[in-house]
Structure 1
Amino acid sequence: MDVLVVDGYNIIGDWEDLKRLKDIDLEQARNRLIEKMAEYKAFTGYRVIIIFDAYYVPGIANKINEYKVEIIYTKENETADERIEKLVKSLKNVVNQVYVATSDYAEQRTIFGRGALRKSARELYIELVDMEAEIEKSIKQHEKANKHIKIPLTDDILEKFEKWRRGNE
């Protein structure tokens, strides 16, 4: 199984739209990132885990599931990097390929040493943009293939009309 571990605040601080949103409302920026990662999960099938450290949200550690994405808030004295490293160590095995999305160079080197692969914030953003374009293209193809007709017809009648159109009957 492929697993994507996301350094939440690192990504929010790197993507322009989320960075602007964070300056207005941090919770909205977090929610938007969670929504984007839920779309990523639905499209790729990856297990997605987002880590937010307690630097911005002090309190006790918390783990929740939202939109089938795992969201972990670290303990008050635990950084996101520490939690990510523990997760990589526990998740990385022969069956799982673990990717970590962060633009923190030191963290990238550390997780790479533990067997995980890295995705920079920019790479993940480009992947999401490409994914959204592919979904849009697929929707347009589907709509084009399923042109709406004004009179509802059964499949056998449509098949007969298609044969007539092709000159097969």
Structure 2
Amino acid sequence: MDVLLVDGYNIIGAWTELRTLKDNDFSKARELLIEYMAEYQAYTGYRVIVVFDAHLARGVEKKNSLYGVEIIYTRENETADERIEKLARELKDIRTQVHVATSDYTEQWAIFGQGALRKSARELYNEMQRIEKGIEKRVDKVNRENRSSGLFLSEEVSEIFEKWRRGGK
């Protein structure tokens, strides 16, 4: 199994679209990153865990899930880097390859030393662009097949199916 650990705020700060959105609506930027990671997870089959520093929140670690993506907000006085390193150690075994998405150079070397593979924010962005194109091709192919088979799905029904595919309601 492959696991992708994502340094949430590092990626938000590195991707132009998310960084711009963050300036106006921080929570929207987080949610959009999670949506992208849900697409990544659905397309690649990786287990995806996004880790955020406990930004403006005090207390214990908080875990939840959105669109099937695991989300961790670190506990007070714990950085996302520390939590990612801990997760990389816990998850690494003979059957699991851990990948870490961050552009923090020091963090990349720390996780690389633990046997995890690094993925820079730019590499993840480029991979997401390829995934988006792959998803578009698949949707177009399904739509063409549906039209040729006599089964036509309205735009509204197609959107509902897409939300279901992503694990939303």
Deviation (angstroms), 1:141: 2.2
Pairing 1:19-38 to 2, within 5 Å after superposition: 19-38=19-38
Counterpart position of 2:103: 103
Counterpart position of 1:12: 12
Pairing 1:77-96 to 2, within 5 Å after superposition: 77-96=77-96
CA offsets, 1:84-128, max 9 Å, x none?
A: 000000001101000000000000000000000011001111111
Following superposition, which runs of at least 4 residues in structure 1 exceed 6 angstroms of deviation?
Answer: none
1:119 aligned partner, one-letter code: K
Deviation (angstroms), 1:137: 1.3
Counterpart position of 1:75: 75
Kindly tell me: are residues 33 and 149 of structure 1, through their superposed partners in 2, closer, same or farther at Cα, counting changes over 3 Å?
closer
1:43 aligned to 2:43? yes
Partner secondary structure for residue 82 of structure 2: helix
Kindly tell me: are residues 117 and 149 of structure 1, through their superposed partners in 2, closer, same or farther at Cα, counting changes over 3 Å?
closer
Cα distance in 2, alignment partners of residues 71 and 97 from structure 1: 19
Pairing 1:132-151 to 2, within 5 Å after superposition: 132-148=132-148
Identify unmatched segments of 5+ residues in structure 2: 153-169
1:144 aligned partner, one-letter code: R
Partner secondary structure for residue 126 of structure 1: helix
Cα distance in 2, alignment partners of residues 92 and 148 from structure 1: 46
Partner secondary structure for residue 23 of structure 2: helix
Cα distance in 2, alignment partners of residues 147 and 90 from structure 1: 48
TM-score (norm. length: structure 2): 0.84
CA offsets, 1:115-147, max 9 Å, x none?
A: 000110011111111011011112222223333
Which one has the largest radius of gyration? 1
Identify unmatched segments of 5+ residues in structure 1: 153-169
TM-align CA RMSD: 1.8
2:63 aligned partner, one-letter code: K
1:147 aligned partner, one-letter code: R
2:114 aligned partner, one-letter code: R
1:58 aligned to 2:57? yes
Partner secondary structure for residue 99 of structure 1: strand
Deviation (angstroms), 1:14: 0.2
Cα distance in 1, alignment partners of residues 143 and 49 from structure 2: 33
